[in-house]
Amino acid sequence: MHAKIPARLRSLAVALAVAGCQKPAETAAPAADAAPAAPAAAAPATWPASLVVVGDGFPNAGDACRKIGESEATVNFLDDSATLAGCLSADDAAKLGGTVVGTVDGVTLVSVPNGAGTPGDGDGQGDAKVTGTHYNATAQVRCAGYKGAAAGMCDAGVVRDAETGPYVEVNLPDGMKRTILFNKDGSFLSFSTAQADGTAAMKISSRREGDTTIAMLGDERYEIPDAFVQGD
């Protein structure tokens, strides 16, 4: 004969059995902290529209700074005896060895004396050639009137060791040149002209303003400082 198990004990046994079969609830692992967002890449530096940027590097092609032309933002910084350069960083500006004259839209402007640190420009070492050119010095000169152009600055180079006397080549916006001839004593001689381009028919004249020659070819005007022509 089997002994009878009271109903109350049977209920307790079933409850314990069910509890033993259930798995304990797993504690959820704390969520891993989200990885910090990678810092945004710095935006590439660009030259502002307020500046007239010339060439692909200054003082040499590929360099970080650029030659800066005349605009409303720079007109007060231009100097016939120096090149105005712009750099996107103060460190690059410091390397040019000129004088920082201002900042325009984040660009540091530096006035660099023409021929600074190179033989042949007032340092008593004689005339040398500007690297990669046949010029003894390069600069920007004031110019106006070519095909009706307003007054501005033009790139120019001078050859001082020519047998007949120094000459200055002025580079014009469309790739043409004007060659201005001087006597050995630095006085104005003439322009190099030709029948083919009509310059032979243009009136040639000059006058002096202080230490600068104002050379005229028809309606064109070029201001050439004596120091640029004669050097040492």
The structural domains of the chain, with segments of one domain joined by +, span 51-113, 115-232
pLDDT over 50 (residue 137):
yes
Other Cβ atoms within 10 Å of 208 Cβ, number:
11
Residue 159: pLDDT band with limits 50, 70, 90:
very high
Higher pLDDT, 10 or 131: 131
Residues 217 and 195: their CA atoms lie apart, in Å, by 14
Higher pLDDT, 53 or 45: 53
Question: What's the Cα-to-Cα distance from 100 to each of 81, 85, 113, 173, rounded to whole Å?
Answer: 15, 9, 12, 27
Other Cβ atoms within 10 Å of 102 Cβ, number:
15
Residue 95: pLDDT band with limits 50, 70, 90:
confident
Q: What is the mean pLDDT of residues 6-35?
A: 53
Higher pLDDT, 80 or 96: 96
Higher pLDDT, 46 or 121: 46
Residues 46 and 65: their CA atoms lie apart, in Å, by 12
pLDDT over 50 (residue 124):
no
Q: What is the DSSP string of 186-218?
A: S-EEEE---TTTTGGGS-EEEEEETTEEEEEET
pLDDT over 80 (residue 64):
yes
Q: What is the mean pLDDT of residues 218-223?
A: 97
Q: What is the mean pLDDT of residues 99-107?
A: 91
Give the DSSP letter of residue 150.
P
Higher pLDDT, 232 or 14: 232
pLDDT over 90 (residue 35):
no
pLDDT at 122: 43
* Range in 92-101, 112-121, 142-151 with the lowest mean pLDDT: 112-121
pLDDT at 44: 43
Instruction: Report residue 179: phi and psi, to 5°.
Output: -105, 120
pLDDT over 70 (residue 42):
no
Residue 41: pLDDT band with limits 50, 70, 90:
very low
* Contact predicate 215/206, CB 8 Å: yes
pLDDT over 80 (residue 197):
yes
Across all residues in the chain, what is the average pLDDT?
80
